Structure 1
Amino acid sequence: AIQHQNQHLSIAAQLSDGVAKTLAYSSLGRVHHALGHYTEAVQYLQQGLQIAEQLRRREDEAKIRHRLGLSLWSAGDLDQCQQQLHRAADLFETIRR
Protein backbone atom coordinates (compact mmCIF):
# COMPACT_ATOMS: atom_id res chain seq x y z
CA ALA A 1 0.00 0.00 0.00
CA ILE A 2 2.82 2.39 0.83
CA GLN A 3 4.57 1.68 -2.46
CA HIS A 4 1.33 2.23 -4.39
CA GLN A 5 0.63 5.54 -2.63
CA ASN A 6 4.22 6.69 -3.17
CA GLN A 7 3.71 6.04 -6.90
CA HIS A 8 0.43 7.98 -6.73
CA LEU A 9 2.27 10.87 -5.07
CA SER A 10 5.07 10.78 -7.64
CA ILE A 11 2.65 10.89 -10.57
CA ALA A 12 0.62 13.67 -8.94
CA ALA A 13 3.80 15.70 -8.44
CA GLN A 14 4.88 15.18 -12.06
CA LEU A 15 1.47 16.40 -13.21
CA SER A 16 1.44 19.27 -10.69
CA ASP A 17 -1.95 17.97 -9.55
CA GLY A 18 -2.51 19.45 -6.10
CA VAL A 19 -5.74 17.56 -5.47
CA ALA A 20 -4.11 14.22 -6.26
CA LYS A 21 -1.13 15.13 -4.05
CA THR A 22 -3.52 15.95 -1.20
CA LEU A 23 -5.22 12.57 -1.57
CA ALA A 24 -1.91 10.70 -1.82
CA TYR A 25 -0.51 12.34 1.32
CA SER A 26 -3.76 11.62 3.15
CA SER A 27 -3.68 7.98 2.05
CA LEU A 28 -0.05 7.62 3.10
CA GLY A 29 -0.98 9.07 6.48
CA ARG A 30 -3.83 6.56 6.88
CA VAL A 31 -1.61 3.62 5.93
CA HIS A 32 1.17 4.64 8.32
CA HIS A 33 -1.39 5.16 11.09
CA ALA A 34 -2.79 1.66 10.49
CA LEU A 35 0.75 0.27 10.74
CA GLY A 36 1.35 2.09 14.03
CA HIS A 37 3.85 4.53 12.49
CA TYR A 38 2.23 7.58 14.08
CA THR A 39 5.10 10.02 13.55
CA GLU A 40 5.15 9.28 9.83
CA ALA A 41 1.34 9.44 9.70
CA VAL A 42 1.39 12.91 11.26
CA GLN A 43 4.06 14.10 8.81
CA TYR A 44 2.17 12.91 5.73
CA LEU A 45 -1.15 14.24 6.99
CA GLN A 46 0.39 17.64 7.72
CA GLN A 47 1.71 17.81 4.16
CA GLY A 48 -1.70 16.91 2.77
CA LEU A 49 -3.35 19.45 5.06
CA GLN A 50 -1.06 22.22 3.85
CA ILE A 51 -2.03 21.57 0.23
CA ALA A 52 -5.74 21.22 1.04
CA GLU A 53 -5.61 24.62 2.79
CA GLN A 54 -3.81 26.22 -0.16
CA LEU A 55 -6.40 24.83 -2.57
CA ARG A 56 -9.24 25.82 -0.22
CA ARG A 57 -10.67 22.32 -0.28
CA ARG A 58 -12.59 22.53 2.98
CA GLU A 59 -13.98 18.99 2.89
CA ASP A 60 -10.52 17.48 2.32
CA GLU A 61 -9.12 19.78 5.01
CA ALA A 62 -11.77 18.64 7.51
CA LYS A 63 -11.16 14.96 6.76
CA ILE A 64 -7.39 15.34 7.03
CA ARG A 65 -7.66 17.31 10.28
CA HIS A 66 -9.82 14.52 11.70
CA ARG A 67 -7.30 11.85 10.68
CA LEU A 68 -4.44 14.03 11.92
CA GLY A 69 -6.16 14.38 15.29
CA LEU A 70 -6.45 10.61 15.61
CA SER A 71 -2.78 10.12 14.71
CA LEU A 72 -1.74 12.80 17.19
CA TRP A 73 -3.81 11.07 19.86
CA SER A 74 -2.10 7.76 19.12
CA ALA A 75 1.28 9.53 19.22
CA GLY A 76 0.42 10.92 22.67
CA ASP A 77 0.08 14.60 21.69
CA LEU A 78 -3.32 15.19 23.25
CA ASP A 79 -3.24 19.01 23.08
CA GLN A 80 -2.63 19.05 19.33
CA CYS A 81 -5.09 16.19 18.92
CA GLN A 82 -7.83 18.21 20.59
CA GLN A 83 -7.03 21.28 18.50
CA GLN A 84 -7.19 19.36 15.21
CA LEU A 85 -10.39 17.53 16.12
CA HIS A 86 -12.09 20.80 17.12
CA ARG A 87 -11.03 22.45 13.87
CA ALA A 88 -12.26 19.44 11.90
CA ALA A 89 -15.63 19.59 13.67
CA ASP A 90 -15.91 23.33 12.96
CA LEU A 91 -15.16 22.76 9.28
CA PHE A 92 -17.65 19.90 9.02
CA GLU A 93 -20.28 22.15 10.60
CA THR A 94 -19.69 24.96 8.08
CA ILE A 95 -19.80 22.48 5.19
CA ARG A 96 -23.13 21.11 6.41
CA ARG A 97 -24.78 24.53 6.30
Structure 2
Amino acid sequence: MFDTLSALSTEENDGEATVEIYSETPRRDRMIAENRDGAAWDTWWPELGAGDMERITGLRRSDFSTEKDCEDFIVACIQWWNSHSETEKIAVWKEYRE
Protein backbone atom coordinates (compact mmCIF):
# COMPACT_ATOMS: atom_id res chain seq x y z
CA MET A 1 0.00 0.00 0.00
CA PHE A 2 2.84 2.36 -0.88
CA ASP A 3 0.46 4.71 -2.67
CA THR A 4 -1.00 5.69 0.72
CA LEU A 5 2.33 6.86 2.20
CA SER A 6 2.95 10.55 2.75
CA ALA A 7 5.83 12.49 4.30
CA LEU A 8 5.38 13.57 7.90
CA SER A 9 7.76 16.08 9.47
CA THR A 10 8.83 15.97 13.09
CA GLU A 11 6.93 19.24 13.66
CA GLU A 12 3.71 17.57 12.49
CA ASN A 13 4.43 14.69 14.89
CA ASP A 14 4.83 16.76 18.09
CA GLY A 15 8.62 16.81 17.74
CA GLU A 16 8.94 13.04 17.64
CA ALA A 17 10.91 11.15 14.99
CA THR A 18 9.03 10.03 11.90
CA VAL A 19 11.95 8.16 10.29
CA GLU A 20 14.14 5.62 12.10
CA ILE A 21 17.01 3.59 10.64
CA TYR A 22 18.10 0.38 12.32
CA SER A 23 21.26 -1.68 12.00
CA GLU A 24 20.99 -5.42 12.18
CA THR A 25 23.28 -6.99 14.74
CA PRO A 26 23.63 -10.65 15.67
CA ARG A 27 21.76 -10.05 18.95
CA ARG A 28 19.18 -7.37 18.11
CA ASP A 29 18.33 -4.45 15.89
CA ARG A 30 19.73 -1.11 17.06
CA MET A 31 18.58 2.33 15.92
CA ILE A 32 21.47 4.27 14.38
CA ALA A 33 19.68 7.31 12.95
CA GLU A 34 16.41 9.15 13.04
CA ASN A 35 15.16 12.47 11.77
CA ARG A 36 14.71 14.17 15.15
CA ASP A 37 18.20 13.92 16.67
CA GLY A 38 20.07 12.87 13.54
CA ALA A 39 22.53 10.14 12.85
CA ALA A 40 24.40 8.37 15.63
CA TRP A 41 27.73 9.20 14.00
CA ASP A 42 27.00 12.93 13.96
CA THR A 43 26.00 12.98 17.63
CA TRP A 44 28.99 10.78 18.55
CA TRP A 45 31.62 13.09 17.02
CA PRO A 46 31.20 16.20 19.24
CA GLU A 47 31.11 14.01 22.36
CA LEU A 48 34.67 12.75 21.77
CA GLY A 49 37.52 13.99 23.89
CA ALA A 50 40.51 15.81 22.46
CA GLY A 51 42.69 12.70 22.73
CA ASP A 52 40.26 10.66 20.63
CA MET A 53 40.02 13.44 18.06
CA GLU A 54 43.82 13.55 17.82
CA ARG A 55 43.97 9.80 17.29
CA ILE A 56 41.26 9.82 14.62
CA THR A 57 42.15 12.98 12.69
CA GLY A 58 45.94 12.93 12.96
CA LEU A 59 45.80 16.56 14.11
CA ARG A 60 47.76 17.51 17.25
CA ARG A 61 46.61 19.94 19.92
CA SER A 62 50.21 21.07 20.34
CA ASP A 63 50.12 22.44 16.77
CA PHE A 64 47.34 24.90 17.69
CA SER A 65 46.96 27.85 20.01
CA THR A 66 46.15 26.86 23.59
CA GLU A 67 44.10 30.01 24.15
CA LYS A 68 40.34 29.70 24.60
CA ASP A 69 40.48 26.02 25.62
CA CYS A 70 42.12 24.88 22.37
CA GLU A 71 39.28 26.34 20.29
CA ASP A 72 41.43 26.35 17.13
CA PHE A 73 42.10 22.62 17.51
CA ILE A 74 38.41 21.87 18.05
CA VAL A 75 37.41 23.96 15.02
CA ALA A 76 39.98 22.12 12.89
CA CYS A 77 38.62 18.76 14.07
CA ILE A 78 35.06 19.80 13.24
CA GLN A 79 36.19 20.93 9.79
CA TRP A 80 37.98 17.58 9.32
CA TRP A 81 34.76 15.71 10.23
CA ASN A 82 32.56 17.89 8.02
CA SER A 83 34.88 17.39 5.04
CA HIS A 84 33.92 13.71 4.90
CA SER A 85 30.97 12.14 3.12
CA GLU A 86 28.28 10.32 5.08
CA THR A 87 29.78 7.02 3.97
CA GLU A 88 33.22 8.06 5.25
CA LYS A 89 31.75 9.31 8.53
CA ILE A 90 29.98 6.00 9.05
CA ALA A 91 33.23 4.11 8.42
CA VAL A 92 35.10 6.25 11.01
CA TRP A 93 32.25 5.83 13.50
CA LYS A 94 32.24 2.06 13.04
CA GLU A 95 36.01 1.84 13.43
CA TYR A 96 36.45 4.05 16.51
CA ARG A 97 33.28 3.89 18.58
CA GLU A 98 33.40 1.88 21.77
Higher strand share: 2
Tell me which structure has the larger Cα radius of gyration.
Answer: 2
TM-score (normalised: structure 1) = 0.25
> Which is bigger in relative contact order (C-alpha 8 A, separation at least 6)?
1
Higher helix share: 1
TM-score (normalised: structure 2) = 0.25
